[in-house]
Chains A and B, each alone.
Chain A
């Protein structure tokens, strides 16, 4: 069974940093692109970016809305996905999800339960 479990959310001050983690299990982690998506309360999800699989060199792509502030990485041996967030702003307040596509890449068939990040002083 595919499982994704995010952690690391909480309250952070504007301008601060936070690292989110996503523990993956139930599938061959290195075979899949992995994605981060966020969703402000009551609003639509927003795709943040992804990290490619081993076959494609673990390279990354980002939404321009977070490029330069957010960094996606993965720890291959421990099946962990990370989202490093810097220079946080109030508008970054949201529930953050990691997600896995149905096949190597594409639409999001599997989502974690999410972790809430609140940026406030």
Chain B
């Protein structure tokens, strides 16, 4: 199975700052990287697919980049509604696997 290593596990953030979350795959997944946002008690919501394509309705302050084994999610000018957990997922090969998640908390 492809292992997804996500960092950091948690991040203390301030509103308006820029946040970057990293995700590393144990092997080359081309551009098969997806990002989800999850708020407490809710199901995950698709943010970005194919590394850098914004899902419909997702604000442009979210962006994704990377290729091969190294990927990142960037949130510009963090808003209060962005405080959540974020998961990366590879969809290059079955079984699809997820990173352990990054939890954003307000300072």
Contact = CB atoms under 8 A, between A and B. Distances in A.
A102 interface: yes
Interface residues of B, number: 21
B95 A47 contact: yes
Contacts of A109: 46, 49, 55
Given A61-B94, A102-B49, A107 B99 contact: no
Interface of B is mostly: loop
A97 B55 contact: no
A64 B50 CA distance: 25
Interface in B87-107: 87, 89, 91, 94-101
A interface bracket (residues with beta carbon within 8 Å of B): 10 to 19
Interface in A24-76: 43-47, 61, 63-64
Interface string A85-108: 000000000000100001000111
A109 B3 CA distance: 22
B44 interface: yes
B98 A108 contact: no
B43 interface: yes
A107 B94 contact: no
B13 to A, nearest CB: 20
Interface of A: 43-47, 61, 63-64, 97, 102, 106-109, 111-114
Given A64-B95, A102-B46, A107-B50, 20 more contacts: A43-B101, A44-B87, A45-B44, A45-B87, A45-B89, A45-B98, A47-B98, A61-B94, A97-B43, A102-B49, A107-B34, A107-B46, A107-B91, A108-B36, A108-B44, A108-B46, A109-B46, A113-B42, A113-B43, A114-B43
Q: Which 3 A-B pairs have the closest CB atoms?
A: A111-B43, A47-B96, A107-B34
